[in-house]
Structure 1
Amino acid sequence: MSKLINKSLILNELKSVYGFKKDTEFADFLGIKPQTLSSWYTRNTFDIELLYAKCENVNADFLLSGEGNIIKNSMMVNEPSAVYGLKTDKNITDHQQIPLYNIEATAGIVTLFNDTSQTKPIDYIQIPNLPKCDGAIYVTGDSMYPLLKSGDIVMYKQIHNIKDGIFWGEMYLVSMEIDGEEHVTVKYIQKSEKGEDHVKLVSQNKHHQDKDIKIQKIRALALIKASVRINSMS
Protein backbone atom coordinates (compact mmCIF):
# COMPACT_ATOMS: atom_id res chain seq x y z
CA MET A 1 0.00 0.00 0.00
CA SER A 2 1.43 3.40 -1.01
CA LYS A 3 2.30 5.94 1.65
CA LEU A 4 -0.14 8.83 2.11
CA ILE A 5 1.72 12.09 1.54
CA ASN A 6 0.82 14.92 3.93
CA LYS A 7 0.53 17.68 1.36
CA SER A 8 -0.68 20.21 3.92
CA LEU A 9 2.64 19.80 5.72
CA ILE A 10 4.50 20.31 2.43
CA LEU A 11 2.54 23.52 1.83
CA ASN A 12 3.34 24.75 5.35
CA GLU A 13 7.05 24.03 4.86
CA LEU A 14 7.07 25.94 1.56
CA LYS A 15 5.20 28.85 3.12
CA SER A 16 7.75 29.03 5.93
CA VAL A 17 10.85 28.71 3.73
CA TYR A 18 9.70 31.44 1.36
CA GLY A 19 8.89 33.77 4.24
CA PHE A 20 5.09 34.00 4.19
CA LYS A 21 3.26 34.28 7.51
CA LYS A 22 -0.29 34.33 6.11
CA ASP A 23 -2.07 32.01 3.68
CA THR A 24 -3.34 35.03 1.75
CA GLU A 25 0.26 36.16 1.11
CA PHE A 26 1.26 32.66 0.00
CA ALA A 27 -1.76 32.45 -2.32
CA ASP A 28 -0.93 35.84 -3.84
CA PHE A 29 2.65 34.66 -4.46
CA LEU A 30 1.36 31.53 -6.20
CA GLY A 31 -1.13 33.52 -8.28
CA ILE A 32 -4.17 31.68 -6.96
CA LYS A 33 -7.23 32.64 -4.92
CA PRO A 34 -7.06 32.16 -1.13
CA GLN A 35 -10.08 29.84 -1.46
CA THR A 36 -8.08 27.60 -3.81
CA LEU A 37 -5.23 27.34 -1.31
CA SER A 38 -7.73 26.59 1.45
CA SER A 39 -9.22 23.77 -0.61
CA TRP A 40 -5.74 22.30 -1.11
CA TYR A 41 -5.34 22.06 2.65
CA THR A 42 -8.82 20.62 3.12
CA ARG A 43 -8.47 17.98 0.38
CA ASN A 44 -4.78 17.21 1.03
CA THR A 45 -3.86 18.10 -2.56
CA PHE A 46 -2.10 20.78 -4.63
CA ASP A 47 -1.02 21.66 -8.17
CA ILE A 48 2.52 20.28 -8.18
CA GLU A 49 3.39 21.84 -11.55
CA LEU A 50 2.30 25.28 -10.33
CA LEU A 51 4.32 24.96 -7.11
CA TYR A 52 7.40 23.82 -9.05
CA ALA A 53 7.06 26.77 -11.44
CA LYS A 54 6.43 29.44 -8.79
CA CYS A 55 8.80 28.24 -6.06
CA GLU A 56 12.10 28.53 -7.89
CA ASN A 57 14.84 26.10 -6.81
CA VAL A 58 12.37 23.95 -4.89
CA ASN A 59 13.37 20.29 -4.76
CA ALA A 60 10.99 18.22 -6.93
CA ASP A 61 11.59 15.17 -4.74
CA PHE A 62 10.34 17.14 -1.72
CA LEU A 63 7.13 18.08 -3.58
CA LEU A 64 6.59 14.43 -4.51
CA SER A 65 7.38 12.81 -1.19
CA GLY A 66 7.62 15.51 1.50
CA GLU A 67 11.11 14.24 2.31
CA GLY A 68 14.65 15.54 1.73
CA ASN A 69 15.88 19.09 1.19
CA ILE A 70 13.22 21.66 0.39
CA ILE A 71 15.61 23.75 -1.71
CA LYS A 72 17.39 21.70 -4.36
CA ASN A 73 20.71 23.59 -4.21
CA SER A 74 21.21 23.33 -0.45
CA MET A 75 24.60 21.66 -0.04
CA MET A 76 27.42 20.90 2.31
CA VAL A 77 30.84 22.40 1.60
CA ASN A 78 33.76 20.34 2.90
CA GLU A 79 31.53 19.22 5.81
CA PRO A 80 32.51 21.90 8.34
CA SER A 81 30.39 24.59 6.71
CA ALA A 82 27.07 24.79 4.88
CA VAL A 83 26.02 27.07 2.02
CA TYR A 84 22.34 27.85 1.46
CA GLY A 85 21.14 29.33 -1.84
CA LEU A 86 17.94 31.30 -2.37
CA LYS A 87 15.19 31.09 -4.96
CA THR A 88 16.44 33.98 -7.15
CA ASP A 89 19.90 32.47 -7.55
CA LYS A 90 21.41 31.99 -10.97
CA ASN A 91 24.71 30.16 -10.91
CA ILE A 92 27.76 31.52 -12.69
CA THR A 93 30.60 29.39 -13.94
CA ASP A 94 33.54 31.59 -12.98
CA HIS A 95 34.96 31.30 -9.46
CA GLN A 96 34.52 34.78 -8.08
CA GLN A 97 36.47 36.23 -5.19
CA ILE A 98 33.87 37.69 -2.81
CA PRO A 99 35.28 40.31 -0.41
CA LEU A 100 34.42 39.74 3.25
CA TYR A 101 33.97 43.01 5.15
CA ASN A 102 33.87 43.89 8.83
CA ILE A 103 31.11 46.51 8.98
CA GLU A 104 31.94 47.23 12.62
CA ALA A 105 35.23 48.66 11.39
CA THR A 106 33.44 50.89 8.87
CA ALA A 107 30.71 53.47 9.23
CA GLY A 108 28.03 50.88 8.32
CA ILE A 109 26.84 49.40 5.07
CA VAL A 110 25.68 52.74 3.63
CA THR A 111 29.27 53.97 3.56
CA LEU A 112 30.46 50.54 2.39
CA PHE A 113 28.00 50.44 -0.50
CA ASN A 114 28.75 54.02 -1.55
CA ASP A 115 32.50 53.41 -1.96
CA THR A 116 33.89 49.91 -1.56
CA SER A 117 37.25 51.09 -2.85
CA GLN A 118 37.83 52.86 0.46
CA THR A 119 37.11 49.75 2.56
CA LYS A 120 39.72 47.00 2.81
CA PRO A 121 38.28 43.45 2.98
CA ILE A 122 39.40 41.29 5.89
CA ASP A 123 39.36 38.20 3.65
CA TYR A 124 37.94 36.73 0.44
CA ILE A 125 35.47 33.88 -0.11
CA GLN A 126 35.53 31.62 -3.15
CA ILE A 127 32.79 29.02 -3.69
CA PRO A 128 32.16 27.24 -7.01
CA ASN A 129 28.93 28.01 -8.90
CA LEU A 130 27.88 30.78 -6.54
CA PRO A 131 25.54 33.49 -7.92
CA LYS A 132 27.09 36.91 -8.54
CA CYS A 133 27.69 38.69 -5.22
CA ASP A 134 29.04 42.11 -4.31
CA GLY A 135 30.39 41.22 -0.89
CA ALA A 136 29.94 39.34 2.38
CA ILE A 137 29.59 40.26 6.06
CA TYR A 138 29.19 38.48 9.40
CA VAL A 139 25.69 38.17 10.87
CA THR A 140 24.98 39.46 14.37
CA GLY A 141 21.88 38.82 16.46
CA ASP A 142 19.34 35.98 16.40
CA SER A 143 16.39 37.39 14.45
CA MET A 144 16.85 34.83 11.63
CA TYR A 145 17.64 31.85 13.89
CA PRO A 146 17.73 28.91 13.19
CA LEU A 147 18.23 29.69 9.49
CA LEU A 148 21.05 32.07 10.42
CA LYS A 149 22.87 32.48 13.70
CA SER A 150 25.29 35.08 15.01
CA GLY A 151 28.70 34.53 13.43
CA ASP A 152 27.39 33.13 10.13
CA ILE A 153 28.50 34.81 6.92
CA VAL A 154 25.99 36.12 4.38
CA MET A 155 26.86 36.99 0.79
CA TYR A 156 24.83 39.75 -0.82
CA LYS A 157 23.99 41.56 -4.05
CA GLN A 158 23.35 45.27 -3.63
CA ILE A 159 19.95 46.67 -4.67
CA HIS A 160 20.31 50.11 -6.22
CA ASN A 161 16.63 50.85 -6.92
CA ILE A 162 15.13 50.17 -3.49
CA LYS A 163 11.54 51.10 -4.33
CA ASP A 164 11.21 48.92 -7.43
CA GLY A 165 13.93 46.31 -6.84
CA ILE A 166 12.39 44.25 -4.05
CA PHE A 167 11.49 40.59 -4.62
CA TRP A 168 8.74 40.00 -2.06
CA GLY A 169 9.42 37.19 0.39
CA GLU A 170 13.21 37.12 -0.14
CA MET A 171 15.84 37.69 2.54
CA TYR A 172 17.65 41.04 2.61
CA LEU A 173 20.42 42.89 4.36
CA VAL A 174 18.67 46.09 5.42
CA SER A 175 20.09 49.36 6.65
CA MET A 176 17.42 51.66 8.06
CA GLU A 177 17.38 54.94 9.90
CA ILE A 178 16.02 54.84 13.44
CA ASP A 179 16.15 58.04 15.52
CA GLY A 180 18.89 59.42 13.27
CA GLU A 181 21.11 56.33 13.56
CA GLU A 182 21.79 53.45 11.17
CA HIS A 183 20.40 50.07 12.18
CA VAL A 184 21.54 47.04 10.15
CA THR A 185 19.59 43.78 10.16
CA VAL A 186 18.80 40.70 8.07
CA LYS A 187 15.08 40.13 7.43
CA TYR A 188 12.55 38.77 4.99
CA ILE A 189 10.78 41.63 3.20
CA GLN A 190 7.06 41.27 2.53
CA LYS A 191 4.30 43.58 1.40
CA SER A 192 2.82 45.71 4.16
CA GLU A 193 -0.86 46.14 4.91
CA LYS A 194 -0.09 49.83 5.54
CA GLY A 195 0.30 50.54 1.82
CA GLU A 196 2.86 50.73 -0.97
CA ASP A 197 5.01 53.27 0.90
CA HIS A 198 5.69 50.67 3.61
CA VAL A 199 7.33 47.24 3.76
CA LYS A 200 7.06 44.53 6.39
CA LEU A 201 10.26 43.17 7.94
CA VAL A 202 9.79 39.54 9.01
CA SER A 203 12.10 37.42 11.17
CA GLN A 204 12.68 33.68 11.01
CA ASN A 205 12.84 33.63 14.82
CA LYS A 206 9.24 33.48 16.04
CA HIS A 207 10.17 35.43 19.20
CA HIS A 208 10.76 38.56 17.09
CA GLN A 209 7.75 40.62 16.07
CA ASP A 210 7.14 41.70 12.48
CA LYS A 211 7.77 45.38 11.86
CA ASP A 212 6.31 47.73 9.22
CA ILE A 213 8.57 50.59 8.15
CA LYS A 214 8.41 53.29 5.50
CA ILE A 215 10.48 52.53 2.42
CA GLN A 216 12.05 55.97 2.66
CA LYS A 217 13.61 54.90 5.98
CA ILE A 218 15.67 52.23 4.17
CA ARG A 219 19.09 53.74 3.46
CA ALA A 220 20.71 50.68 1.86
CA LEU A 221 19.46 47.29 0.73
CA ALA A 222 21.06 44.06 -0.50
CA LEU A 223 19.61 40.69 -1.48
CA ILE A 224 21.08 37.78 0.48
CA LYS A 225 22.30 35.28 -2.13
CA ALA A 226 23.90 32.66 0.12
CA SER A 227 25.10 31.97 3.65
CA VAL A 228 27.98 30.07 5.18
CA ARG A 229 28.00 28.48 8.63
CA ILE A 230 31.31 27.36 10.13
CA ASN A 231 30.59 24.49 12.52
CA SER A 232 34.18 23.84 13.58
CA MET A 233 37.33 25.96 13.50
CA SER A 234 39.65 22.97 13.95
Structure 2
Amino acid sequence: MTQKVSIITKGEMLDMIKKHLNIQKNTEFARFLGISSQAVSNWYARNTFDAELLYTKCDFINADWLLSGRGSMLKEEIKQPKTIQEPSFCVNNDFVHIPVVDISVAAGSGFTNSDYIEEEECISMPLSMVKDGRKYLCVRVKGQSMVPSILDGGYLIIRLMERSEWESVRDNYVYVVSDREGRSYVKRLKNRLRQHGFIVCMSDNVDKRNYPNFNLYEKDLNTIWYAEWYFSAKLPNIQETYYRKQGELEDRLDELTAQFQQFQKALNTNH
Protein backbone atom coordinates (compact mmCIF):
# COMPACT_ATOMS: atom_id res chain seq x y z
CA MET A 1 0.00 0.00 0.00
CA THR A 2 1.49 3.32 -1.07
CA GLN A 3 1.63 5.98 1.63
CA LYS A 4 0.46 9.43 0.55
CA VAL A 5 2.84 12.33 1.06
CA SER A 6 1.13 15.30 2.66
CA ILE A 7 1.85 18.54 0.78
CA ILE A 8 1.17 21.81 2.55
CA THR A 9 -1.14 24.31 0.91
CA LYS A 10 -0.04 27.65 -0.51
CA GLY A 11 -1.89 29.39 2.34
CA GLU A 12 0.06 27.39 4.91
CA MET A 13 3.28 28.29 3.13
CA LEU A 14 2.34 31.97 3.22
CA ASP A 15 1.64 31.66 6.95
CA MET A 16 5.09 30.13 7.50
CA ILE A 17 6.76 32.96 5.58
CA LYS A 18 4.87 35.60 7.58
CA LYS A 19 5.80 33.90 10.85
CA HIS A 20 9.48 33.91 9.87
CA LEU A 21 9.21 37.64 9.07
CA ASN A 22 7.41 38.26 12.36
CA ILE A 23 4.41 39.59 10.45
CA GLN A 24 0.84 38.82 11.47
CA LYS A 25 -1.47 40.94 9.31
CA ASN A 26 -1.92 40.55 5.55
CA THR A 27 -1.77 44.33 5.17
CA GLU A 28 1.73 44.40 6.67
CA PHE A 29 2.75 41.42 4.51
CA ALA A 30 1.45 43.19 1.39
CA ARG A 31 3.34 46.37 2.31
CA PHE A 32 6.54 44.35 2.75
CA LEU A 33 6.09 42.74 -0.67
CA GLY A 34 5.11 45.99 -2.35
CA ILE A 35 1.69 44.77 -3.51
CA SER A 36 -1.94 45.42 -2.53
CA SER A 37 -3.54 43.65 0.41
CA GLN A 38 -6.24 42.45 -1.98
CA ALA A 39 -3.60 40.57 -3.97
CA VAL A 40 -2.53 38.72 -0.81
CA SER A 41 -6.17 37.94 0.00
CA ASN A 42 -6.57 36.52 -3.53
CA TRP A 43 -3.57 34.26 -2.98
CA TYR A 44 -5.23 32.73 0.04
CA ALA A 45 -8.62 32.43 -1.66
CA ARG A 46 -7.19 30.78 -4.79
CA ASN A 47 -4.47 28.75 -3.03
CA THR A 48 -1.74 30.29 -5.17
CA PHE A 49 0.96 32.98 -5.03
CA ASP A 50 3.62 34.74 -7.12
CA ALA A 51 6.61 32.47 -6.45
CA GLU A 52 9.04 34.75 -8.29
CA LEU A 53 8.02 37.75 -6.19
CA LEU A 54 8.29 35.83 -2.93
CA TYR A 55 11.69 34.41 -3.86
CA THR A 56 12.95 37.89 -4.77
CA LYS A 57 11.65 39.62 -1.65
CA CYS A 58 12.41 36.80 0.83
CA ASP A 59 16.04 35.83 0.31
CA PHE A 60 15.86 33.19 3.03
CA ILE A 61 13.43 30.94 1.10
CA ASN A 62 14.52 27.59 -0.33
CA ALA A 63 13.46 27.57 -4.01
CA ASP A 64 12.61 23.85 -4.00
CA TRP A 65 10.32 24.32 -1.00
CA LEU A 66 8.65 27.31 -2.66
CA LEU A 67 7.88 25.30 -5.81
CA SER A 68 6.99 21.95 -4.26
CA GLY A 69 6.15 22.54 -0.60
CA ARG A 70 8.60 19.78 0.36
CA GLY A 71 11.67 20.02 2.55
CA SER A 72 12.84 23.00 4.56
CA MET A 73 11.59 26.53 3.96
CA LEU A 74 15.03 27.99 4.68
CA LYS A 75 18.07 27.86 2.45
CA GLU A 76 20.63 25.47 3.89
CA GLU A 77 23.52 27.80 3.12
CA ILE A 78 22.05 30.67 5.16
CA LYS A 79 23.60 30.88 8.58
CA GLN A 80 20.76 31.33 10.99
CA PRO A 81 21.16 33.88 13.77
CA LYS A 82 22.08 32.47 17.11
CA THR A 83 18.95 32.28 19.17
CA ILE A 84 18.89 34.67 22.06
CA GLN A 85 17.26 32.83 24.90
CA GLU A 86 14.22 34.37 26.48
CA PRO A 87 15.18 36.25 29.65
CA SER A 88 15.92 33.80 32.44
CA PHE A 89 14.97 34.50 36.02
CA CYS A 90 16.93 34.39 39.23
CA VAL A 91 15.94 32.01 42.00
CA ASN A 92 14.08 34.71 43.92
CA ASN A 93 12.13 35.72 40.78
CA ASP A 94 12.90 39.39 41.41
CA PHE A 95 15.42 39.87 38.59
CA VAL A 96 15.66 39.17 34.89
CA HIS A 97 18.89 38.38 32.99
CA ILE A 98 19.28 40.35 29.75
CA PRO A 99 21.97 39.26 27.24
CA VAL A 100 24.76 41.79 26.68
CA VAL A 101 25.61 41.64 22.99
CA ASP A 102 27.97 43.46 20.68
CA ILE A 103 26.11 44.10 17.43
CA SER A 104 28.34 47.06 16.60
CA VAL A 105 25.50 49.51 17.13
CA ALA A 106 26.60 52.65 15.36
CA ALA A 107 26.01 56.01 16.98
CA GLY A 108 27.35 57.42 13.75
CA SER A 109 27.74 56.24 10.18
CA GLY A 110 27.09 52.58 10.91
CA PHE A 111 29.12 49.41 11.35
CA THR A 112 28.30 46.21 9.48
CA ASN A 113 27.08 43.53 11.85
CA SER A 114 28.43 40.02 11.91
CA ASP A 115 26.28 37.23 10.50
CA TYR A 116 24.86 36.47 13.90
CA ILE A 117 24.44 38.04 17.28
CA GLU A 118 26.97 36.71 19.71
CA GLU A 119 25.85 36.50 23.29
CA GLU A 120 28.73 37.25 25.63
CA GLU A 121 27.34 38.02 29.08
CA CYS A 122 24.20 39.10 30.90
CA ILE A 123 23.06 42.06 32.93
CA SER A 124 20.52 41.61 35.72
CA MET A 125 17.65 44.04 36.17
CA PRO A 126 14.64 44.10 38.52
CA LEU A 127 11.51 42.67 36.92
CA SER A 128 9.71 45.91 37.66
CA MET A 129 11.99 47.71 35.18
CA VAL A 130 11.06 45.62 32.11
CA LYS A 131 7.86 44.61 30.33
CA ASP A 132 6.81 41.03 30.85
CA GLY A 133 7.15 38.69 27.88
CA ARG A 134 9.07 41.10 25.63
CA LYS A 135 12.49 40.54 24.09
CA TYR A 136 15.31 42.70 25.47
CA LEU A 137 18.97 43.14 24.66
CA CYS A 138 21.73 45.18 26.24
CA VAL A 139 23.95 46.68 23.53
CA ARG A 140 27.20 48.62 23.62
CA VAL A 141 27.14 52.02 21.93
CA LYS A 142 29.97 53.04 19.61
CA GLY A 143 30.62 56.47 18.14
CA GLN A 144 30.03 60.12 18.87
CA SER A 145 26.82 60.98 17.01
CA MET A 146 24.58 60.96 20.11
CA VAL A 147 26.95 63.03 22.27
CA PRO A 148 26.26 64.56 24.73
CA SER A 149 23.09 62.53 25.43
CA ILE A 150 24.58 59.06 24.90
CA LEU A 151 28.32 58.53 25.14
CA ASP A 152 30.66 56.17 23.33
CA GLY A 153 31.08 53.01 25.42
CA GLY A 154 27.72 53.32 27.16
CA TYR A 155 25.07 50.60 27.35
CA LEU A 156 21.46 50.70 26.18
CA ILE A 157 18.73 48.33 27.34
CA ILE A 158 16.54 48.01 24.23
CA ARG A 159 13.16 46.33 23.68
CA LEU A 160 12.17 44.82 20.34
CA MET A 161 9.09 46.43 18.80
CA GLU A 162 6.62 44.34 16.80
CA ARG A 163 5.93 45.53 13.27
CA SER A 164 2.43 46.43 14.34
CA GLU A 165 4.00 48.92 16.78
CA TRP A 166 6.16 50.74 14.23
CA GLU A 167 3.58 53.41 13.47
CA SER A 168 3.49 54.23 17.20
CA VAL A 169 7.17 55.25 17.23
CA ARG A 170 7.32 58.54 19.12
CA ASP A 171 9.04 61.62 17.73
CA ASN A 172 12.31 62.68 19.34
CA TYR A 173 12.73 59.47 21.38
CA VAL A 174 15.87 57.29 21.12
CA TYR A 175 15.66 53.97 19.26
CA VAL A 176 18.03 51.41 17.80
CA VAL A 177 17.17 50.65 14.18
CA SER A 178 18.67 48.12 11.79
CA ASP A 179 18.30 47.95 8.03
CA ARG A 180 18.20 44.99 5.67
CA GLU A 181 21.86 45.53 4.74
CA GLY A 182 22.92 44.61 8.30
CA ARG A 183 23.68 48.12 9.55
CA SER A 184 22.46 49.34 12.95
CA TYR A 185 22.08 52.84 14.32
CA VAL A 186 21.33 54.55 17.63
CA LYS A 187 19.24 57.57 16.65
CA ARG A 188 16.55 59.95 17.78
CA LEU A 189 13.63 59.33 15.42
CA LYS A 190 10.86 61.25 13.74
CA ASN A 191 8.02 58.99 12.63
CA ARG A 192 6.81 59.67 9.09
CA LEU A 193 5.79 56.09 8.25
CA ARG A 194 2.08 56.78 7.87
CA GLN A 195 2.45 59.97 5.84
CA HIS A 196 5.51 59.22 3.71
CA GLY A 197 6.68 55.66 4.48
CA PHE A 198 9.95 56.50 6.21
CA ILE A 199 11.52 57.46 9.54
CA VAL A 200 13.93 60.35 10.03
CA CYS A 201 17.10 59.36 11.90
CA MET A 202 18.66 62.23 13.83
CA SER A 203 21.91 62.63 15.77
CA ASP A 204 22.19 64.64 18.97
CA ASN A 205 25.69 65.78 18.04
CA VAL A 206 25.55 69.40 16.87
CA ASP A 207 28.17 68.66 14.19
CA LYS A 208 25.64 68.05 11.40
CA ARG A 209 28.33 68.06 8.73
CA ASN A 210 29.73 64.78 10.08
CA TYR A 211 26.47 63.50 11.60
CA PRO A 212 23.67 64.55 9.22
CA ASN A 213 20.06 63.43 9.47
CA PHE A 214 18.91 60.73 7.05
CA ASN A 215 15.74 58.83 6.15
CA LEU A 216 15.13 55.08 6.31
CA TYR A 217 12.18 53.79 4.28
CA GLU A 218 9.96 51.09 5.72
CA LYS A 219 10.92 48.62 2.98
CA ASP A 220 14.56 48.95 4.08
CA LEU A 221 13.87 48.59 7.81
CA ASN A 222 14.64 45.29 9.49
CA THR A 223 14.05 45.92 13.21
CA ILE A 224 13.23 48.79 15.54
CA TRP A 225 14.19 48.58 19.22
CA TYR A 226 13.01 51.09 21.80
CA ALA A 227 15.78 52.32 24.13
CA GLU A 228 14.29 52.01 27.62
CA TRP A 229 17.40 52.40 29.81
CA TYR A 230 20.87 53.87 29.44
CA PHE A 231 23.93 53.03 31.54
CA SER A 232 27.30 54.75 31.41
CA ALA A 233 30.37 55.08 33.61
CA LYS A 234 30.66 58.66 32.37
CA LEU A 235 28.33 61.53 33.15
CA PRO A 236 27.57 63.61 30.05
CA ASN A 237 28.87 67.15 30.44
CA ILE A 238 25.83 69.04 29.18
CA GLN A 239 27.21 72.30 30.57
CA GLU A 240 30.33 72.00 28.44
CA THR A 241 28.19 71.87 25.29
CA TYR A 242 25.95 74.68 26.54
CA TYR A 243 28.85 77.00 27.37
CA ARG A 244 30.59 76.21 24.09
CA LYS A 245 27.47 77.18 22.15
CA GLN A 246 27.06 80.26 24.35
CA GLY A 247 30.66 81.24 23.61
CA GLU A 248 30.09 80.79 19.87
CA LEU A 249 27.01 83.03 20.04
CA GLU A 250 28.90 85.67 22.01
CA ASP A 251 31.72 85.63 19.44
CA ARG A 252 29.20 86.02 16.65
CA LEU A 253 27.50 88.89 18.50
CA ASP A 254 30.87 90.63 18.89
CA GLU A 255 31.46 90.30 15.13
CA LEU A 256 28.03 91.70 14.30
CA THR A 257 28.52 94.56 16.76
CA ALA A 258 31.87 95.44 15.18
CA GLN A 259 30.35 95.32 11.69
CA PHE A 260 27.48 97.56 12.79
CA GLN A 261 29.87 100.09 14.32
CA GLN A 262 31.91 100.17 11.09
CA PHE A 263 28.73 100.63 9.07
CA GLN A 264 27.56 103.44 11.38
CA LYS A 265 30.96 105.13 11.19
CA ALA A 266 30.86 104.97 7.38
CA LEU A 267 27.43 106.61 7.36
CA ASN A 268 28.59 109.44 9.63
CA THR A 269 31.68 110.00 7.46
CA ASN A 270 29.55 110.32 4.30
CA HIS A 271 27.40 112.97 5.98
TM range (shorter): 0.3 to 0.5
Larger helix fraction of residues: 2
State the TM-score, normalizing by the size of structure 2.
0.42
